[in-house]
Amino acid sequence: MISFFALRNNEPDMERPFRVPLYPIFPALALIIASISMVAMSYYNQQLALIFLAILAVSFGLYKLVYDKK
């Protein structure tokens, strides 16, 4: 959702294939709910949070190895 807001801010005239209903309220609400969920998961279930972070780290590493050829 942060990327969504950044793209809207950086490229306001870019053609969009669809319109987001009730922009910016719905995307902001989705960002808030996702942030609260992430904090709650990390606080109440540290093992699950570590598994999630490990999956993110492995995915980022694979992306760097396979797709990022700069």
Q: CB–CB of 7/14 below 8 Å?
A: yes
Identify the domain containing residue 34 by its residue range.
2-66
pLDDT given for residue 18 in this prediction: 84
The length of the chain in residues reads 70
- Domain count along the chain: 1
CA distance 33 to 30: 5
Q: What pLDDT band is residue 70 in, cutting at 50, 70 and 90?
A: low
pLDDT given for residue 28 in this prediction: 95
pLDDT digits (tens, 9 = 90+) for 15-24: 988 888 898 9
pLDDT digits (tens, 9 = 90+) for 1-44: 899 999 999 998 999 888 888 989 999 999 999 999 999 999 99
> Which residue in the block uniquely carries the two structure tokens 């490229």?
11
